[in-house]
């Protein structure tokens, strides 16, 4: 399966351009869509899952055209929206059973088996009799995953997956996705949290102000940042100056005052040492310095 997005624009009725000339090629595995709030991620997700029409542009899922073959494409999709809520009085297992029925799992015996399997996978088997509304935030999120996946979709779209989850739940969620990404599926994950784009995302796109600023592997993004991340030991006064001029990534108390990590194009400070960038450094560097450039 391959998804191609060509020259996609979205202009809302109020004139707001949320997406502008977006071109992306998405293949098997996990694809990360990273960008700050308001970048256009949800707009792109909603278009991809056929909930909203683009203003211009073309999207294909293999040979299916999103403008013409919406029904076919819907059968391939599992979607976990950002604000997934249940307006339901159903028990947890009943809700999942209903989702499976909607996803086309017709035979009751098979369906119930699937329901149990997924309750177990997402760690909700013990609370299967509980009303879905009464689950904790993390549990609801996991039920959200299960309902998106129970129909065995070929394309899974997850919008801001870890919002509102505690660290333990985040890890659990990432593990479920990472396990899935080993299979023959495309997982598209949108987030503003760099940590969500873990090592399992082999490809990512950075979205800013509705445009794609970078597309490629996390390693490529990090490579582009090498030579721009520094460590400086500094006193309090210098620190104020640094804060004005550079994007600070972290500040740790040290003997001299502070050990500061920052990103910059060049640095004219005596004791600054270049350090090896990670994905978070790369993201901050991109957002700070390349906002007004097209690609790097
Ligand atoms: P993200 O998911 O990255 O936070 P969104 O796609 O939600 O970004 O929003 C992109 C831009 O489009 C923002 O400026 C947002 O305010 C605007 N926007 C989103 N939905 C609508 C809408 N229904 N009508 C008008 N503007 C919208």
Residues 117 and 256 in one domain: no
State the closest ligand 1 atom to the C-alpha of 17, by its place in the atom list counted from 1.
Answer: 12
pLDDT over threshold 90, residue 55: yes
Question: Does ligand 1 have an atom closer than 6 angstroms to the CB of 15?
Answer: no
Question: Does ligand 1 have an atom closer than 6 angstroms to the CB of 51?
Answer: no
pLDDT over threshold 50, residue 268: yes
Residues 169 and 100 in one domain: yes
pLDDT at 184: 84
Question: Does ligand 1 have an atom closer than 6 angstroms to the CB of 114?
Answer: no
Q: How many domains does the chain divide into?
A: 2
Question: Does ligand 1 have an atom closer than 6 angstroms to the CB of 42?
Answer: yes
pLDDT at 291: 60
C-alpha pair distances (Å), 230 with each of 22, 233, 283: 33, 10, 15
pLDDT over threshold 90, residue 246: no
**Between 59 and 142, the higher pLDDT residue:** 59
Residues 240 and 133 in one domain: no
Q: Strands 186-191, 201-208: parallel, antiparallel or unpaired by DSSP?
A: unpaired
Q: What is the number of other CB atoms lying within 10 angstroms of the CB of residue 71?
A: 9
Name the token pair of 290.
């390349």
Residues 195 and 227 in one domain: no
Distance CA 58, CA 37 (A): 25
In the chain, the DSSP E strands lie at 3-11, 17-26, 29-34, 56-61, 64-65, 77-80, 155-159, 186-191, 201-208, 211-216, 229-234, 247-253, 258-263, 273-274
Residue with tokens 């792109």: 44
pLDDT at 182: 82
CATH at 100: 3.40.50.300
Of 216, 236, 271, which residue sits at a domain end?
216
pLDDT at 244: 83
Residues 94 and 206 in one domain: yes
pLDDT interval class at 294 (50, 70, 90) = very low
Considering the chain, what percentage of its residues have pLDDT values greater than 70?
A: 96
| Ligand 1 midpoint to CA 183 (Å) | 32
pLDDT over threshold 90, residue 22: yes
Residues 207 and 246 in one domain: no
Of 188, 216, 244, which residue sits at a domain end?
216
Residues 156 and 269 in one domain: no
Residues 72 and 112 in one domain: yes
Residues 112 and 171 in one domain: yes
State the closest ligand 1 atom to the C-alpha of 207, by its place in the atom list counted from 1.
Answer: 3
pLDDT interval class at 289 (50, 70, 90) = low
- Output the pTM of the full model: 0.87
pLDDT over threshold 90, residue 33: yes
Residues 143 and 261 in one domain: no
Domain containing 111 equals 2-216
pLDDT at 103: 86
Of 216, 238, 266, which residue sits at a domain end?
216
Residues 206 and 236 in one domain: no
Distance CA 113, CA 127 (A): 16
- Residue with CA nearest ligand 1 atom 20: 43
| Ligand 1 midpoint to CA 28 (Å) | 27
State the closest ligand 1 atom to the C-alpha of 210, by its place in the atom list counted from 1.
Answer: 10
Q: Identify the CA nearest to 205 among candidates 24, 69, 81.
A: 24
Q: Convert the pLDDT of each residue in 121-170 to its tens digit.
A: 888 999 999 999 999 888 888 899 899 989 999 999 998 877 777 888 88
Residues 70 and 197 in one domain: yes
If 0-12 CB within 10 Å is exposed, 13-18 middle and 19+ buried, where does residue 167 land?
exposed
State the closest ligand 1 atom to the C-alpha of 42, by its place in the atom list counted from 1.
Answer: 2
Radius of gyration of the chain (CA): 22
Query: Strand, coil or helix: what is 56?
Result: strand
Question: Does ligand 1 have an atom closer than 6 angstroms to the CB of 40?
Answer: yes
């Amino acid at each position: 399966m391959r998804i191609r997005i060509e020259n996609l624009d979205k202009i809302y009725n109020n004139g707001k351009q949320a997406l502008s000339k977006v071109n992306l090629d998405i293949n098997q595995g996990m694809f990360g869509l990273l960008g700050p709030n308001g970048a256009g991620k949800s707009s792109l997700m909603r278009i991809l899952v056929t909930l909203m029409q683009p203003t211009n542009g073309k999207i294909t899922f293999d040979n299916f055209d999103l403008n013409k073959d919406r029904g076919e494409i819907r059968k391939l999709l599992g979607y976990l929206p950002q604000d997934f809520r249940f307006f339901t009085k159903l028990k947890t297992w009943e809700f999942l059973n209903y989702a499976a029925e909607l996803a086309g799992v017709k035979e009751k015996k098979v369906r119930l088996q699937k329901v149990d399997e997924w309750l177990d996978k997402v760690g909700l088997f013990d609370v299967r009799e509980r009303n879905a509304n009464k689950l904790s935030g993390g549990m609801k999120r996991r039920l959200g995953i299960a309902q998106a996946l129970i129909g065995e979709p070929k394309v899974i779209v997850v919008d801001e997956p870890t919002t509102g989850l505690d660290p333990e739940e985040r890890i659990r969620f990432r593990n479920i996705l990472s396990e899935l990404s080993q299979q023959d599926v495309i997982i598209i994950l949108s987030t503003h949290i760099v940590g969500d784009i873990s090592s399992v995302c082999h490809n990512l796109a950075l979205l800013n102000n509705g445009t794609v600023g970078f597309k490629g592997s996390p390693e490529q993004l990090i490579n582009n940042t090498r030579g721009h991340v520094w460590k400086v030991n500094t006193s309090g006064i210098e620190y104020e100056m640094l804060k004005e001029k550079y994007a600070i990534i972290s500040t740790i108390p040290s003997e001299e005052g502070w050990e500061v990590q920052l990103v910059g194009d060049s640095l004219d400070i005596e004791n600054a040492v270049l350090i090896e960038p990670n994905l978070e450094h790369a993201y901050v560097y991109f957002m700070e310095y390349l906002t007004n450039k097209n690609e790097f």
